[in-house]
Chains A and B, each alone.
Chain A
C-alpha cells in the first residue's frame, strides 16, 4: 500500500480503540479490546449482560480510565482528556440508565447541550443578561426536536415524562451538539415497537445524511440489524466476533455467548 493510501485509511478511521482493558477488583470487565469506527459508519456492539459493553463506553467517554490501551478520536489521543473535553471533540452519548435533568423541560435540555458543546457560558454574559437563546440556537433545537419526534413535548418538564420519552430526550440532547460519533447505550430500552422503528430510522438517517458515526449498544437485535453496517460481539470483556450482522449471528461463538450452545 502506498504512503498516500495508508494515510487516507488512517484519516478515515474516526475512532481507534486499541488494547483497552479495565478491571474492577481484579475482575476484568474489558480485556484487550481493539476495534475502529470509520467516519459515517454505524457499528453495533452486542453481547450478553455483563459482557463489558457499558464499561467500554465509559472508557471511551472518559467516565472510567482504562488501565491499558489507547483511544484515538479523529487522529488525537483522548485517553488523558477529561469527559467534558472529549464531548467537545465530538463524542455524543446516551445512557443505559436514563440521565436527564429533572428541573428542566425538554427544550432546555437541548439548549444546554448546544451551549455546553461550544464551551459557552461566561459569568459576565449572565450578569449582563446576554445569555438569552439566540435565534440560530432556537432554530437548531427545534429542528432536532422535530427530527426525534418530540417537538410536541418541547415545553414539558422532563419530570413529567415517561421512560420512553426520556430516552428520546437523551437522544435529542446528544444530537443537538452535532457529534461526529454517537455512543448510544440501549436507546430502545423502554420504547414500544413503533417508537423503536422510528428511532432506528432516525439513526439511519443521521448516519446517511449527516455522516454521523454511531456506536450502538443494543439488546434488540432486530434494531441492530436495521441500523448497523458492522457488528462487534463482546463476551466476558473480550471481542468474540466481528462482521456484518448476519455473519456474526451465524457465528457459533456468538451463539455460544448468547445461548450457551456449542456446536
Chain B
C-alpha cells in the first residue's frame, strides 16, 4: 500500500499540469465555442517570452510574469478574436478547428524563425523555489515546482468556476457561445464579451505555459504538444463542459501514468508503449463512452441564417466560353509539364516534382474525406504511413515487389480507415477530429515506433524491392508511375463526385437528418468514403516512400497529418485541383525556401506560409486559392466577354464576390436570385 501511495502521490502535481491545460481548453470552449488546438502553442509562446525576459533581459520574475502572462497572452487572444475567430460563423466547426490547427502548426515554427533556434534552459518558477522540498506527503517529496503546479491549478479552477457560474459576465459568455447575434438583441455587447473570453482563456494559456516551463530542463514546444493530448482526454471526459471534472480527470491521469511507470518494468519497450499510450487510450475511451461528446455540434445558432452560405466552386459557375479556354490551358500546361519532365528539367527539380505528385495523391484523400465527405480527418498522414510501412515490410520480409505491396498497403490503410470510421460512427465535427488525432497518436507512439514496423527508427528501401527502373528518386520511370497513379486517382475522385455517391455525400454535408429521411444509409456512405480515402492515402504513402527510398518512424507523424489538412484547406479542400496545387505547392515552396539563408528559417517556413494561408479560412471558407480564382475569373470574364448591363461591384464577401449580374456567366443569375431572394433564407 505504501508503495502504491508512493507512486500515486507524485502523480498529483504531474496530473495538475494536465488539469490546468484541460481546464483552459474547457473554459475556451465554454466561453468562445472554439476547441482551441492552439492552446499549447499559446502556452509555449508565453513561457518562451517569460523565460527570455528573465534570463535574457534580466527582468525580475514578477515583472516578466506580468508582461508575458498578464499583457502578452491576453493581447494575443484579443488579436486572435479580432482577426480570426470573430469572423467564423458559430456553427462552422470545421473552420474553427482548422484555424486552431493552423496556429498550432504555424506559431512554433514562426517563433523559431523570429527568435532563432537557440536552446532555452532552466525556466524560472513563478511561485515557489523549485530547489526546495517544502514538505512530504507520506513519503513523496513536494518541491517548489510541484507546489506551484498544485496551488495554481486549485486557484485557477476556483476562480473560473466562480466566473462562469456566479457572475454576470460568465452568463453572458455562455449566451454568446450559443449565438453572438442573439445576445446582442438582448442588449449585450457580445463583441466585448467574446473578446473578454478570449483574453481570459489566453491568460490561462499563458499561465499554464509558465507553470509548465520549469518542469523540463529545456524549454521546447514538444512537451506542450504532448501535454495537449493528455488535456484533450481530460477535457473530453468532462464533455468540454465541466471544469471540475476536467481537472479531476487530469489529476487522475497524472497519477495513473506515474503508477504505471512505477509498476511496469522500466527497460521494456512494451512498458514504454503503454506509458505513451495512456493519454490517447483515455481520449479514445472518452469519445466512445461519454455521451456529451456525440452531441457537441448539435447546438444550432438560431440566427445562423444571417450568415451567407459558402459559395460554390468557381469551376461550376464560370462562363462556358471561359471554362473551355481554361480547360485547354490546363491540358496544354499538363502536356508541357510531362514533356519538360521527360526532357530538360534538372534532377533537383524532377525530384521535387516527383515528390509533389506523391503528396498530391495523399492530399486527394483529404479532398475525398473532408471536401466531399464533410468529415474532418486528422489521420490521413497515418493512413499513408500504414500503406507505406505495409509495402516496405512486405518487401523486407517476403521480397514482394513494392508496387504489389502498395496495393496490399492500400487495402490495409482502407481497413484501418474502416475501423476508424466504425469507431467514430456516432461522432461528428470536433468529436471525429479528436478521434482521428487520437488514432494518429496511437500509431505514432505504439505502432510506427515498433522495431517490427520501422526497424525502430528507419527502413531503407532497396533496389530489388521496386524494380522497373523505379529506384531513382528523380528518374523518368518514377515520374511516369506517379503521373499515371495520380491521373487514375483524379479520375476516380471526379467520377465519384459526379456520381450517385458524390450526390449522397453532398446531401449528407447539407443535412444528415434529411439525407437519412430520403433513404440514404449514412453509416454505409461514411464507412465507404473513409475506406476509399484511406486506400488513396495508403497508395500515396507508398509512392512517397518508393520515391524517397527511405521510411522512418516519424515520416508520417500526427503533426504531418495536421499540416496536410492545413495545406489542403489553403488551396481548396473541395476541388481536385486544390489537392494537386497543395501537393505541388508544398514541395515547390519548400524547395524555393531552401535557397534562403538558414537563419531566416529555410524550408520550415513552408508550414508558416500555409498556416497563414489557412487562417484565411475565416474569411474564405472555400479556400484562399479558390477565392482568388473566383476574383480573377470574374475579371477575365469582364475583360473577355464585356457585359452590357450595369455591373455589381465585387466585394470581399463570399456571395458578393461571386460575380456581376448581367454578364454571360451563370454566376450572375445566382447573384440576382440571392439579392432578390425572400428574407430569411434557408437555415
Which residues of A come within 8 Å of B, CB atoms?
61-63, 82-85, 87-88, 91, 93, 95, 97-104, 108, 111-113, 115-123, 125-127, 129, 131, 156-166, 170, 173, 177, 190
CB of B454, distance to nearest CB on chain A (Å): 33
CB of A123, distance to nearest CB on chain B (Å): 6
With known contacts A103-B509, A104-B506, A156-B673, A190–B680 Cβ distance under 8 A: yes
Asked whether any CB of chain A lies closer than 8 Å to the CB of B511, the reply is yes
Contact B500–A120 (Cβ < 8 Å):
yes
Contact A84–B681 (Cβ < 8 Å):
no
The distance in angstroms between the C-alpha atoms of A238 and B673, with both chains bound, is 43
The distance in angstroms between the C-alpha atoms of A88 and B501, with both chains bound, is 17
With known contacts A102-B682, A158-B682, A161-B681, A126–B510 Cβ distance under 8 A: no
Chain B at the A interface: mostly helix, strand, loop or mixed? Answer: helix
Task: Say which one of B68-76, B344-352, B518-526 lies at the interface with A.
Answer: B518-526
Contact B682–A95 (Cβ < 8 Å):
no
Asked whether any CB of chain A lies closer than 8 Å to the CB of B679, the reply is yes
**Nearest neighbor of B311 in chain A, beta-carbon distance:** A159
Task: Say which one of B158-166, B353-361, B400-408, B491-499 lies at the interface with A.
Answer: B491-499
Which residues of B come within 8 Å of A, CB atoms?
309-310, 312, 492, 495-496, 498-504, 506-507, 509-511, 513-522, 528, 532, 669-670, 673-674, 677-683
The distance in angstroms between the C-alpha atoms of A61 and B528, with both chains bound, is 24
Among B495, B496, B499, B680: residue with most chain A CB under 10 A: B499
Contact B678–A165 (Cβ < 8 Å):
yes
The distance in angstroms between the C-alpha atoms of A100 and B513, with both chains bound, is 10
With known contacts A87-B517, A101-B514, A108–B503 Cβ distance under 8 A: yes
The distance in angstroms between the C-alpha atoms of A198 and B328, with both chains bound, is 48
The distance in angstroms between the C-alpha atoms of A93 and B673, with both chains bound, is 27
Contacts of B678 in A (CB 8 A): 161-165, 190
Selected from B510, B522, B677, the residue in CB contact (under 8 A) with A84 is: B522
Contact A163–B503 (Cβ < 8 Å):
no
Contact A161–B677 (Cβ < 8 Å):
yes
Selected from A87, A127, A166, the residue in CB contact (under 8 A) with B496 is: A127
Contact B511–A101 (Cβ < 8 Å):
yes
Contacts of B528 in A (CB 8 A): 123
The distance in angstroms between the C-alpha atoms of A121 and B679, with both chains bound, is 36
The distance in angstroms between the C-alpha atoms of A10 and B320, with both chains bound, is 58
Contact B511–A121 (Cβ < 8 Å):
no
The distance in angstroms between the C-alpha atoms of A121 and B528, with both chains bound, is 12
Contact A84–B516 (Cβ < 8 Å):
yes
Contacts of A165 in B (CB 8 A): 678
Q: What are 8 A-B pairs at a CB distance below 8 A?
A: A112-B506, A112-B507, A123-B496, A127-B492, A129-B499, A161-B678, A162-B677, A170-B514
The distance in angstroms between the C-alpha atoms of A59 and B499, with both chains bound, is 32
The distance in angstroms between the C-alpha atoms of A84 and B524, with both chains bound, is 11
Contacts of A93 in B (CB 8 A): 517
CB of B300, distance to nearest CB on chain A (Å): 8
With known contacts A84-B516, A101-B509, A161-B682, A123–B501 Cβ distance under 8 A: yes
Contacts of B503 in A (CB 8 A): 104, 108, 111-112, 115, 121
The distance in angstroms between the C-alpha atoms of A113 and B520, with both chains bound, is 9
Contact B507–A101 (Cβ < 8 Å):
yes
Contact B499–A126 (Cβ < 8 Å):
yes
Selected from A61, A125, A160, the residue in CB contact (under 8 A) with B673 is: A160
The distance in angstroms between the C-alpha atoms of A104 and B518, with both chains bound, is 15
CB of A184, distance to nearest CB on chain B (Å): 12
Contacts of A97 in B (CB 8 A): 683
With known contacts A116-B518, A131-B499, A100–B677 Cβ distance under 8 A: no
Contacts of A82 in B (CB 8 A): 516, 521
CB of A178, distance to nearest CB on chain B (Å): 12
CB of A161, distance to nearest CB on chain B (Å): 6
The distance in angstroms between the C-alpha atoms of A84 and B525, with both chains bound, is 12
Contacts of A156 in B (CB 8 A): 669-670, 673
